[in-house]
Amino acid sequence: MEPLPVEDLKALDAFMAAEVEHNCRPCCSSRTRHGMVTCVRFLVHTFIWVADNLMYMLGWVFVPLAWVLIGSIVIAWYKVLAPYIQQETSSLGFAAHVVFTHWLLINIIFNYLMVTITSPGYPPKMRLNDIMLQPGESFCKKCDSVKPVRTHHCSVCKRCVLKMDHHCPWVHNCIGFRNHRYFFLFMAYLWVGCVYVGAVCAPLFLLRYRWRFHYDTLTNADKIEIRRLLLAGYLGPVVTFAFVLTVAVGIALGLLLFWHVYLVSRGETTIEYYATFKPDQAKKDRPVYSAPQQRHTIGQRWRLFLGIDGGRSIWGVLLPSTFRPSGDGMTWTVASSDGGTGTLASSSSSSSSSSGGGAPTGDRSSTSSSLSAPPLARSHQWV
């Protein structure tokens, strides 16, 4: 469940009002239609208010629940699975299992902790009368401030978020420019952990299932083996719980992980995808984003997203690391359909770069001349 950005809420409000006005015009007076539109808008805004506050409150429930579920699988591994693996494999094999599981556990805990406590990135406050809007920028009435390129207002956090992807109740935080990497790595490592635990539990779960529901079909050798495992405590309800939980979470998380792999490969966020997606439009018409001064290849997008550009190695992904992503979250490169490129930068980024700080923004004059549409226009591509 993800909250709609403010732009979509305005569109929904206008759409509902237009539908009432159109459908009720033949049979209702102007005064009646006005009252019905007011009622519909009140209901829509009430629903949005309830949904936003519910999303916020769910964060206080889902984060402890996530820690409990992760902790329960860790306890199941130490209590049942580790002794079973130690008994069924060699010393070297058991050592490999121990190293692998603890490497996974450290990365899962680290990335989950970081995505919950790391700010997604917020733009500086800039009033409209203090600066001039640059190409791609807009104004947020909620924050009374300029919204840089790719920035969206979160109705749950009540703030504008740089390169906002969505608000996640499972981390009680927005996923944006500075913590998107932690969110993705947490999903990836947790999914690998679910696959691993599910694979270890699968034989034990199937033996327990056959023992309870297909006892007559078991051979004497199978019965002896199952009794041995039962006496050792390897076929208890803990195994069933761990198997069912990891399979269910693994399937759901795998779909979400695949979705974000696709988005990162495209250089998009979830909001940007839905904001520009229409079934009747070709895939090539959707914009593709990247940081400034970078090649728009899939490999480069992944290196930028994972933070392993600029001389950093893959160990920054395989081991816990806290480096920030490249760029300032407010400057992005755009490529037009005719092959030209330019850079869109926010007003604050432009002013900081002119004073000697901030990320490179490119030539403002060349950008203005090559861009004549908002950032989500289909005639241009973000690279």
Residue 275 and residue 258: Cα distance in Å, rounded? 20
The helix/strand/coil state of 302 is helix
Nearest in space to 199 (alpha carbons), one of 247, 258, 257 = 247
Task: Give me the residue label for tokens 């009622």.
Answer: 39
Query: Which run of H or of E encompasses 154?
Result: strand 152-154
CB-based contact 345:133 (threshold 8 Å): no
| 157 part of the active site | no
Q: Where are the beta strands (DSSP E) in 212-302?
A: none
For 28-42, b/e burial (b = at least 16 CB within 10 A) is eeeeebeebbeebee
Which two tokens mark 375?
A: 């950032």
Crossing angle of helices 298-306 and 237-266, rounded to 10°: 120
Nearest in space to 306 (alpha carbons), one of 188, 205, 211 = 188
For 86-123, b/e burial (b = at least 16 CB within 10 A) is eeeeeeeebeebeeebeebbebbbbbbebbbebebbbb
The DSSP secondary structure of 19-80, one letter per residue, reads: HHHHHHTTTS-HHHHHHHHHHHHHHHHHHHHHHHHHHHHHHHHHHHHHHHHHHHHHHHIIII
Catalytic residue among 143, 154, 168, 174: 168
Active site residues: 168
